[in-house]
Chain A
Amino acid sequence: MKPKYLPLTATLVIFLLGYALCVAQYPNMLSTRVIGNLLTDNAFLGIAAVGMTFVIFSGGIDLSIGSVIAFTGVFLAVVLEHTSIHPLIAFAMVLAIATLFGAAMGAIIHYLEMPAFIVTLAGMFLARGMAFVLSIDSIPIKHPFYATLKGLYFKLPGAGRITLIGGLMLLVFAVGILIAHRTRFGTNVYALGGGAATARLMGVPVAATTIRIYALSGLLAGLSGIVFSLYTSAGYSLAAVGVELDAITAVVIGGTLLTGGSGFVAGTLVGILIQGLIQTYITFDGSLSSWWTKILIGLLLFAFILLQKGIIFVSRHRQQRA
């Protein structure tokens, strides 16, 4: 096996082992209902994490995701409450705003040669602040179209259902995988992560690629915000605090190198599912504090960073002998 598949395989093995352990203790967890809920409950995080995966592939980071999700929710709630605009049009508007917001951050990162960390940190405060400007209260969304969308689902054998948002997440992952591995843009993203200066010398359009990466992350954060507002039926400017960190965690547990240039979109899905699985287990147990989720995730994160270091060490060693 090529060493680059090792982290992905490790993630998958950990998920399957973990799931098997859960099922051994609570046989009820082996049901389509649990799987369906796993997808639905983590849909917004998963969609945002796909964008984060591309950003991290390129060697960057996007800290604005959680704030953009909150802004999107508040924007939708305010627009739907105060105007008669149809939700679909509101969706299109907010997606456009989020995409432009991401593109602007990408442009600043590239043209002003600023670290992505600082630029998206500023974006994080800006988006959160804009959400507060729109409203400081939690606004419920009661539009009938929302009820229609929430009622859409695909029935699985057993009692499970794949909801609209759960299905949307899977679709986003499928498209993400195609973009990452089967388009020139995808290869360019990896190229940037491998070395921006070299990529430029090899003719990669660095400016366009950087802007598109952050635009994609913004678009998916916006989509994630829409999904989040469907999930919670409300818009609240304090929502989704720290979601960007959960997304980064999912990406790293999914086997992507934080320094960029290596990893798989599919790994991020497994990373999301592992986080969801731990939460589900704690729910099933009922007596454990939900902080155990954080503790386990923290340990997993450490384990994966060590694993990646180990792989880099081993492959270097192998190259030297070759």
Chain B
Amino acid sequence: MQTSNDILQAVRIEKTFPGTRALDKVDFHLRRGEVHALLGENGAGKSTLIKCLTGAYRRDGGTILLDDVPVDPRDTFEAQALGIGTVYQEVNLLPNLTVAENLFLGRQPRRFGMVDARAMNRRARDLLADYELDLDVTRDLASYSVAIQQVIAIARAVDLSGKVLILDEPTASLDAHEVAMLFRIVRRLKAKGLGIIFVTHFLEQVYEISDRITVLRNGQLVGTRETSSLDRRELIAMMIGRELAAEIHAPRAEVQEGPLRYRFRNYGRKGRVRPFDLDVRAGEVVGMAGLLGSGRTETAELLFGAHRADSGEAEIDGRAVDLASPRAAIRHRFGFCPEDRKTSGIIGDLSVRENIVLALQARRGWTRPISRAEQNRLADHYIRALDIRTADREKPIKLLSGGNQQKAILARWLATEPEFLILDEPTRGIDVGAHAEIVKLIEALREKGLSLIVVSSEIEELVAYSTRVIVLRDRAHVAELDGNRITADQIVEAIAATDERRTS
């Protein structure tokens, strides 16, 4: 395998950051004409390895052979000159320059010392013709879609380097049609003999396009396998190193249902979600299943008072309550983790500690500040209890991985000691390991007697922790499943069913 069949060989690469060993003697071999998926959880070392290959980081040990010649790129520019080109998730081109200028920046054809714009535009058109693109290359890059910009970035990287192409999550912001276009281009480049490294979170795409898969975990190489001989379950096991699958499918423990606490009758709001009845007991997890736009998030927001209900009434422990605003809901010990944690959840520049105490402080009011000692105690408690991986509590939260940010937001609401917790897509965009931990946490909270509403697109996950599942369609609650009827098949059938069968 270490013959000249490999275009790129990285042997025993080491990289250490203060406090962590990001790469521990990792081997990576890339063949000519293959698409090689590089996978791992967040923090596994994928991006560190990529950065060592592209010269963005200097490695601390190991060798990199390109065409059997040792190389040591000092920066991305040098790596590019050697033949290693990279395309990132966020298009790294200049929106204010023309397409042609972007393609030839720094190497524009010149005549008599002046840039020969005509020759440059002609060559840009020729170059893009290879990528099935017929564009006006004199227009600003910004006038084209992200997918086209991505292809232009690939064209530039291949034209500049031409041996190895690294695609770092290139499909994250593309739709299915655009991904298909991108993959056609990747296959063409593969046929030309390029070695292509493909980093992504989407496992279907890995199976669709890659020839081999290398998995990293905690900075170490787990293994390199042929894609065709590695099934999905095995792959996930390699990535998380634990049998998550088993955890998720563990038989539901017999749930001791508590007393009925929350009653919503004919609760709804025009244009958002049709009136529904909902009862929630203590120690219960009510899952909300449905397609995007079916009214799941709208239900969650209505329950929390983010939008005011225009019909029906709410009761807590038999007493009527008015949930007109989030402040009112918080007073009744409600908590809500919204769907988009980047925009409505975390405050990136504040520390983990400040993010955790935020909701509690808001409930107490600014005239009764929480003492620093109390803040520290709370933060430390939840960092330990939820296993939030951070160097210390004063680290800005934006530096944490997605899963740990999610846990910190959960901690924020847990610190207010809620009795009714609404989680909207708590596991979106976090890696597989953190996923399993959040699932476990939801179960632990239920056992403590909390009432939870969990909105999720992951049906298997709902099956794992829900005591009941409400199925939504077209902004209405259309079915309710409980007990043994909570299976993935039943939920899918209920979502897909056209007849309305309400069982509540």
Cα–Cα distance between A172 and B209 once the two chains are bound (Å): 55
| Residues of B contacting A216 in the complex (Cβ-Cβ under 8 angstroms) | none
Contacting pair A187 B115 (CB below 8 A):
yes
Give complex CA distance A203, B86 in Å.
13
Contact B76 A191 (CB under 8 A): no
A193 to B94, CA, bound (A): 9
Q: Which stretch of B136-144, B226-234, B444-452, B477-485 is in the interface?
A: B136-144
Cβ–Cβ contact A190 & B96, under 8 A:
yes
| Binary flags per residue of B118-145, CB closer than 8 Å to A gives 1, else 0 | 0000000000000000000001101111
> Once the chains bind, are A182 and B115 in contact (CB under 8 Å)?
yes
Q: How far is the CA of A186 from the CA of B115 in the complex (A)?
A: 10
Q: Does A295 contact B (CB under 8 A)?
A: no
Identify which of B80, B113, B114, B139 contacts A203 (C-beta below 8 A).
B80
Cross-chain contact B94 with A184 (CB below 8 angstroms): no
Q: Which of B80, B106, B140, B143 contacts A184 (CB 8 A)?
A: B106
CB distance from B95 to the nearest CB of A (A): 6
| A2-B139, A190-B97 known; A203 vs B106 contact (CB < 8 Å) | yes
Contacts of B95 in A (CB 8 A): 194-195
**For residue A193, which residue of chain B has the nearest CB?**
B96
Give Cα A2–Cα B96 distance, bound, in whole angstroms: 12
Interface set, chain B 391-437, CB cutoff 8 A to A: none
Report how far A180 CA is from B64 CA in the complex, Å. 40
From B94, B106, B110, A194 is in contact (CB under 8 Å) with: B94
Min CB gap A28→B, angstroms: 41
B196 to chain A, nearest CB (A): 20
Beta-carbon contact of A187 and B143 below 8 Å? no
- Taking CB atoms, residues of chain A closer than 8 Å to B142 are 315, 319
Within 8 A of A (CB), among B129-169: 139-140, 142-145
Contact of B108 among A187, A190, A198, A315 (CB under 8 A): A187
> How many whole Å from B116's CB to the nearest CB in chain A?
9
Residue of B nearest to A322 (CB): B145
**Structural contact, A198 and B105, CB atoms closer than 8 A:** no
Contact A203 B77 (CB under 8 A): yes
B92 proximal to A (CB < 8 A): yes
> Is A178 in contact with chain B by the CB < 8 A criterion?
yes
With known contacts A4-B140, A187-B108, A198–B92 Cβ distance under 8 A: yes
Q: Is the CB of A182 within 8 A of B105?
A: no
Residue A53 at the B interface, CB < 8 A? no
Structural contact, B92 and A191, CB atoms closer than 8 A = no
| CB of A278 to closest CB in B, whole Å | 31
**A-facing mask of B96-108, CB < 8 A → 1, else 0?**
1100011001101
Cβ-defined contact, B105 with A187, below 8 A: yes
Find chain B residues with CB under 8 A from A199 CB: 94
Residues of B within 8 A of A201 (CB): 76, 92
Given contacts A194-B94, A198-B92, contact A322 B143 (CB under 8 A): yes
- How far, in Å, is B193 (CB) from chain A's closest CB? 24
* A188 CA to B92 CA, complexed, in Å: 15
Closest residue of chain A to B153 (Cβ to Cβ) is A202
Partner of A191, one of B94, B117, B140, B143: B94
**Chain B residues with Cβ under 8 A from A181's Cβ?**
115
Task: Tell me the smallest distance from the CB of A190 to a CB of chain B, in Å.
Answer: 6
**Residue interface bits B53-84, CB-to-A below 8 A is 1, else 0:** 00000000000000000000000110010000
- Minimum C-beta distance from A298 to chain B (A): 28
| A residues near B106, Cβ cutoff 8 Å | 184, 188, 202-204
Contacts of B76 in A (CB 8 A): 201
Contact with A along B268-311 (1 / 0, CB 8 A): 00000000000000000000000000000000000000000000
Is there an interface contact between A194 and B108, defined as CB atoms closer than 8 Å?
Answer: no
Q: How far is the CB of B101 from chain A (nearest CB, A)?
A: 6
Asked if residues B97 and A187 are in contact (CB atoms below 8 Å), the reply is yes
Is A183 a contact partner of B77 (Cβ separation < 8 A)? no
A262 at the interface (CB under 8 A from B): yes
Are the C-beta atoms of A182 and B80 separated by less than 8 Å? no
Contact of B93 among A183, A190, A198 (CB under 8 A): A198
- C-alpha gap A19/B143 in the complex (Å): 35
- The answer to whether B94 and A195 have CB atoms under 8 Å apart is yes
In the docked arrangement, what's the CA distance between A191 and B92, Å?
12
* Nearest opposing residue in chain A for B56, CB measure: A201
Chain B residues whose C-beta falls within 8 Å of the C-beta of A102 in the assembled complex: none
Q: How far is the CA of A188 from the CA of B102 in the complex (A)?
A: 11
Q: Is the interface of A mostly helix, strand, loop or mixed?
A: helix
List residues of A (42-99) whose CB comes within 8 Å of B's CBs: none
Q: Does A254 lie at the interface of the complex (its beta carbon under 8 Å from any beta carbon of B)?
A: no
Partner of B115, one of A184, A191, A318: A184
- Report if A194-B96 is in contact (Cβ < 8 Å); known contacts: A202-B106, A203-B77, A204-B106: yes
A182 to B92 alpha-carbon distance, docked (Å): 23
A176 on interface, CB distance cutoff 8 Å: no
Residues of B within 8 A of A187 (CB): 97, 101, 105, 108, 115
Contact A178 B93 (CB under 8 A): no
A 262-284 binary contact with B (CB < 8 Å = 1; else 0): 10000000000000000000000
Pick the contact of A183: B80, B105, B115, B144 (CB < 8 A). B115
Closest-CB distance, A46 to chain B (whole angstroms)? 23
* Chain A residues, CB < 8 A from B117: 182
- CB neighbours (8 Å) of A198 from chain B are 92-94
Chain A residues near B144 (CB-CB < 8 A):
322
Set of chain B residues within 8 Å of A194, measured between Cβ atoms: 94-97
Question: Is A182's CB under 8 angstroms from B143's CB?
Answer: no
Chain A, Cβ-Cβ closest to B145:
A322
Pairwise interchain contact A203-B96, C-beta atoms closer than 8 A: no
- In the complex, what distance in Å separates the CA atom of A9 from the CA atom of B56? 43
A235 contacts partner chain B, Cβ-Cβ < 8 Å: no
Complex interface residues of chain A between 1 and 57 (CB less than 8 A to chain B): 2, 4
In the complex the two chains form, is B108's CB within 8 Å of A202's CB?
Answer: no
A202: nearest residue on chain B (CB-CB)?
B105
Q: Is A261 an interface residue (CB 8 A)?
A: yes
Interface 1/0 per residue, A100-118 and B, CB below 8 Å: 0000000000000000000
Q: In the complex, A230 Cα to B115 Cα: how many Å?
A: 35
Q: How far is the CA of A198 from the CA of B91 in the complex (A)?
A: 9
CB distance from A317 to the nearest CB of B (A): 12
Bound CA span A290–B47, Å: 62
Q: A87 vs B108: C-alpha distance in the bound complex, in angstroms?
A: 40
Chain A nearest Cβ from B202, distance in angstroms: 25
**A191: B residues at CB distance < 8 A:** 94, 97, 105
Q: Scoring A residues 164 to 197 as 1 if CB is less than 8 Å from chain B, else 0, what string do you get?
A: 0000000000000010011110111011011100
> Which residues in A have their C-beta under 8 angstroms from that of B139?
2
Find the A residue at minimum CB distance from B108: A184
Q: Which residue of chain A lies nearest to B94 when distances are taken between CB atoms in the complex?
A: A194
| CB contact list, A197-245 vs B, under 8 A | 198-199, 201-204
8 Å CB interface, A151-172 against B: none
- Besides A183-B113, A190-B96, A322-B143, 15 more A-B contacts (Cβ < 8 Å) are A182-B115, A183-B114, A187-B97, A187-B108, A187-B115, A191-B105, A193-B96, A195-B94, A195-B95, A198-B92, A202-B105, A202-B106, A204-B105, A319-B145, A322-B145
The chain B residues found within 8 Å of chain A, CB to CB, are: 76-77, 80, 92-97, 101-102, 105-106, 108, 110, 113-115, 117, 139-140, 142-145
The 8 closest A-B CB pairs, nearest first, are: A194-B94, A261-B96, A194-B96, A182-B114, A203-B106, A203-B77, A201-B92, A182-B115
List 5 A-B pairs, Cβ < 8 Å. A2-B139, A184-B110, A188-B106, A261-B94, A318-B143
